[in-house]
Structure 1
Amino acid sequence: MFTIFCRRRLRVPSKGCCIFTGQQFRAKENAILVRSCSSSVCENASEKKSFTVSYLINSCGLSSNDAVSASKKLCFKSTEKPDAVLKLLRENGFTDARHIPRIVTVWPRVLVACPNKTLLPKLQFFRSIGVPLPVLAQMLSIHPSVLMRSLENTIIPNYNCLRSILGSNEGVVRVFSGAIRAFGYGWSNEVASSISFLRERGVPESSIVSLVLHNPPLLLINKERLAVRIDRAVEMGFDVTESRFVHAMKVLLGMSESTLKRKMEVYRMCGWSESETVAAFLKYPYCLKISVKKIMANMGFLVNELGCKPLDVARRPMLLGLSLDKRIKPRCLVARVLNDKGLKNMTNQCDRLVGNFREDVLGEIYRQIWERYSRAIGHLFGESRALWNGFRSFDFEHRYCELNVSRFLMIYCCCALCFG
């Protein structure tokens, strides 16, 4: 009886109580009230967004599209905190033209971060270990996520770990300049464990330092995978005590087993045996990191256009890493001009042209330049005898290595085309 009484009592609101039912909200009067409230909220939000977009464009140098995109991630009524943040960034080497637009685009909420508690201590720390202001601004504008990390729990422990391995702040600054993300992970314990394992396997300290300097995130993998990759490198013929082992580890740790097998298959399709592929990897470990498209393009040009045999390329695998359009093709065109003008066996030495020049090849070409074109070039100087004497006094036979190779080739081709 008491329950029924309570239920009935709850159904009857008092006269002074304001309770809106669904029917009441569907009434025209209330619909107008709801629309009025909604439009007011939207107008306020729109005004805030417009204010934020305007600030991002005028004060931070963002484009209209970037400003609209960034405004979706932050909103502020006052410019007091954003102005303080921009002032702090400028004091630490960030420029209006380059660094500030980039960091705000990548991490818009930097503008509402606390300048004194969140940003300043980290900037001061990096400056205290010797990071130059231009490097500080450049790297943090690209990877501002480091500024989101805890100074005490992440950045300083990582610094201490790197300092203990590299032995100096100079080495730590090099890591900051090349792999700043190493300061954004809580990995100090994992890296210390990986380094201990490498030492147990006989890897010298110099090789460990090289790995840490150039790619510290590679040391975050677990011991099982690290052991597998070390065994694979040793199986291929690398000596853990040699510097080449470091390059092999950089390649092997950065790819999966399926990717490695696919690259081996690509070289097999190009005419290399498995032993030739392994031998090429020993000479130039980065040949396994080259994209399949680039491998096929360079190999096709070297074999089909220059007449090189696949085995010749395997003996000089670094050719596959060169730019086809910027390095290989231009130098081979020069080689053909040299060959047409009577330089013996130049066609057979195209593989040398696209790689590093041998001193005897350079010396022979320079001597022929001098013998064939010295008189013709002399006439061009006319009455400027001092300039001509300076050109003539250059010791081509002994100082040719001081000239830029591309400049020397240009000189030769110009002479050949102008004077026959």
Structure 2
Amino acid sequence: MTSALNSHDGVEAAAVVNGPESTTPRLETVDPRPIIGRLPKYAAGKPPAPVPGLESFKLASNENPLPPIPAVLEAIAAQTAVNRYPDPVATALRNRLAQFLDVPAEDIVTGGGSLGALNQVLAAFAGQQDDGTQDEVVYAWRSFEAYPISVGLAGARSVQVPVAADGRHDLDAMAAAVTDRTRVVLLCTPNNPTGPALRREETERFIESVPRSVVVVIDEAYQEFVRDEAAVDGLAMYRKHPNVVVLRTFSKAHGLAGLRVGYSISHPEITQHLRVAAVPFAVSSVAERAAIASLDHFDAVVERVQSLVDERDRVVAGLRELGWSVPDAQGNFVWLELGEATPEFAALAASQALSVRAFGTEGVRVSIGEVEANTRFLDLCRTFTKAPAAS
């Protein structure tokens, strides 16, 4: 063994013999791009800690607590050719979506969830120009936690416009924030984490107020849960305005969060650039077949979504009966603006085997989960003495 080691020369032999104390040259540091140190870190919802005597429930990630419908599980189990690359442009899924949504297949670009589709929009339209100037991306705040990360990684500058007191987008303030350097505006409806959906008329006025050279992204990840009759329909806006991009996903209503399949819908003037920016093979063949099966049995999906909407409405009504102030909830979650009491409430929930999503000292987002979980959450709120008071 010794002679074999000695047959190697210099530093390599020393590295083998001496291990961690070797004289192998090491880099002092490997520095990332400066923007990396300035970006917030995405904090995914954590599973609940076990509590003796209680079943644990995760209400922290806006996941669908129900499994995919049986036809989807069968479609997933039937996929065996995972040794082959998927269709890079998900042709079968785009064709099925075109039929389902009554839009041209050429107007659909798939991505790894709606976030993957959004990253393709930003990569194509917002970043750093050749002269070093940064494009600007305007969006409401607080909104989807990944927005500032995605915008920063694209090389663009975030322009965050505070939401109104009721958790809604302040569209007038957002319009005023648009400058000649604005390339993209993000509209999250329903807004995650606060809950309200944008209204049709206010959204149309906003789109008409910004230059047509600005890409307006309508992020509808929770579209299937919306029951506000006045809510905007992203597809209607896309049909009327060539600078609109609609984002949708199979993660929420369809219960396919783990398969990462989403898409954007926009006109060819935009999709031609999105295809250049698209991540190759972003949607796996398993995810594609599962999504198609879910569309083929959409009536069953609708039944499951309605059961969650009913639970959402029960939770909101229960909170308001307790005197809690809760913004209009149009997604699969509720928002509690608890301020400084946020960590205390999250800890109390954890003691009851419930994980919730706490945002610093701003508030808590609670996903709608199983009936037992929702009931336990309401019971917890009944005993919490620092509730946001109803106005």
Larger Rg: 1
Q: Give the structure, 1 or 2, with the largest relative contact order (CA under 8 Å, sep 6 or more).
A: 2
Q: Which is helix-richer, 1 or 2?
A: 1
Q: Which is strand-richer, 1 or 2?
A: 2
**TM-score normalised per structure 2:** 0.24
**TM-score normalised per structure 1:** 0.23
